[in-house]
Amino acid sequence: MFSRCANSDLQHKTILIAGASAGMARQLALLIAQRPNRFILFARRRHELQELADQLRALQCEVLTVCGDACREEDTNNAVSLAMAQFGRIDLALLNVGAGPEQRMAETSVTDIRQCMELNYLSLANFLPPLIAAMRSQQADKRGLRGTIAHTNSLAGFLGLPLQGPYSAAKAAARLLMDSCRIELEPEGLKFISLYPGFVQTARVNQYDMPAPFAISETRGAELMLKGLLSGRDDYLFPGPLSWLIRLARILPTFISKPLLRRAL
């Protein structure tokens, strides 16, 4: 996979992965571990986290595991503090916490909406301040880069999708927050990358009874995430067919786009 990317210097780095115990983040960790790197793995499920850590150590990578909840500020602060104490820097943080269950607005509750916002937006917001502070304190490399923060967003964050209202809103908020960080902090040597996958056949997504056009496997999703990380782009949308449909829907007049989107109901 590395050989197919334009820039394959993701080695000898210290990498924090949030949501590492399952899904694309787990697959991505295994891909990145093909090169010598140091990992901080963060997730709630201790057993799955330890299993992944053992796999990475077998590939000669150094690993720190931190069990915690990204929706708790004290847990995210602790993860960054432990990482800095053990490794002295964080070169790349991949924040991959979120979920988008089917939610019909006529049936959902305020509590449902709040929980969706916490999982898909607050999980990012809780990590940003400690990561930004840590990376600003780091020595820049020869390119002037102090650190990179990457967030796994969603194509749903570009427009309000049926059955995905709260999820789309949370991801849109996360998209704008990352945009603001990029504008403010890139001059200080911090890079912000937003990854926008479409439907991915994770164990969690397969539980939902929703249309999933152009769905890709976890393995393919992880390969495309790695490609996005190495591409140098601020925003990386995938897979191609669905990303172009989303782009088209955003520029169509609403009297055309609304009937098309309602077909998912």
Arithmetic mean of pLDDT, 113-134: 98
Q: What is the average pLDDT across 201-222?
A: 71
pLDDT at 198 > cutoff 90: no
Instruction: Give residue-wise pLDDT tens across range 87-100.
Output: 999 999 999 999 87
> What CATH superfamily is the domain 2-262?
NAD(P)-binding Rossmann-like Domain (3.40.50.720)
Instruction: Tell me the pTM.
Output: 0.89
Cα within 13 Å of Cα(39), Cβ side: 35
Pick from 73-87, 117-131, 151-165, 193-207: least confident? 193-207
pLDDT band at 5 (very low <50, low <70, confident <90, very high): very low
Name the CA dihedral angle for 7, 93, 114, 239, rounded to a multiple of 10 degrees: 20
User: For residue 213, what pLDDT band results from cuts at 50, 70 and 90?
Assistant: low
Closest CA to 40 of 1, 104, 88, 2: 88
Ranges of each domain in the chain? 2-262
- Give 151-179 pLDDT, tens digit per residue: 999 998 988 888 889 999 999 999 999 99
